[in-house]
Amino acid sequence: MPDAASLTVFVLAALALLLVPGPAVLYIIARSVDQGRNAGLVSVVGVGLGSMVHVGAAALGLSALLVQSAVAFRTVKYLGAAYLIYLGIRRLIGRGDDIVRADGSSRSLRRIFIQGVWVNILNPKTALFFFAFLPQFVNVDAGSVGLQILFLGTLLVTMGIVTDGAYAIAAGSLGDWLKKRPRVVTAQRWFAGGVFISLGLATALSGGKD
């Protein structure tokens, strides 16, 4: 279990990232705008379940990596910091081509849920993000790395369900207003890029938790 200081930093960093609309959030917003709050909230649960698949994979993979080599584990942490910076740069210079959009067709809530699960499971960027972000808050001297990753990942996904749910409710209520302002997506990527780059730089300069 991470110590109180590391857990506090993790929660603050996770909250900052979750409040930035990424591809999954934009998918949820699109679904909410097109088909209302219920469709958006069901998508939130589906995306969250898909995220837990990646959390489990990260817990197993990073735990096995530590058993093989502590140096390799630290290397992953630094590569993760570099990847966060890379994500930030991509968001700054990108044109929204990585956004998964929902189509406007009518779908049952069950189908929307399943689609939300697969949207996240089949997104390799989600897997890479968990491998990049979660190790930054792991203390290898505090116990099982796999359990720490699983705990942090579950906490992150739970927080994500709450924040994504808020986006779904807001988008469902403001659907008509959002449809008339496509530049909202362009404006938010500058803020998103800054958050990712700042987190990556902070991680690299601090050296992380070994």
Name the residue ranges covered by the structural domains of the chain.
4-206
How far apart (Å, rounded) are the C-alpha atoms in residues 179 and 198?
31
Contact criterion met (CB below 8 Å) for 76 and 63:
no
Q: Return all residues near 107 (Cβ < 8 A) that are at least 6 apart.
A: 35, 39, 115
What letter represents residue 120's amino acid?
Answer: N
CA distance 139 to 2: 7
In angstroms, how far is CA 147 from the centroid of its own chain? Answer: 19
**Greater pLDDT, 138 or 107:** 138
Which of 4-18, 37-51, 69-83 reaches the highest mean pLDDT? 37-51
Which token pair is 176? 């008509």
The position carrying tokens 């469709």 is 39
Confidence of residue 188 (pLDDT cuts 50, 70, 90): low
Cα separation, 49 vs 34, whole angstroms: 22
Q: Does residue 33 come out as left (phi exceeding 0), alpha (psi in the -120 to 50 range) or beta? A: alpha
Query: Which secondary structure element, helix H or strand E, spans residue 177, and what is its range?
Result: helix 175-179
Helices (H) and strands (E) in the chain, counts: 9, 0
Handedness of CA 72, 74, 75, 76 (dihedral sign): positive
Question: Which of the pair, 153 or 27, is modelled with greater confidence?
Answer: 153
pLDDT, tens digit, for every residue of 122-181? 766 677 788 778 888 887 777 788 888 899 999 999 999 999 999 999 888 876 666 566
Q: What is the mean pLDDT of the chain?
A: 76
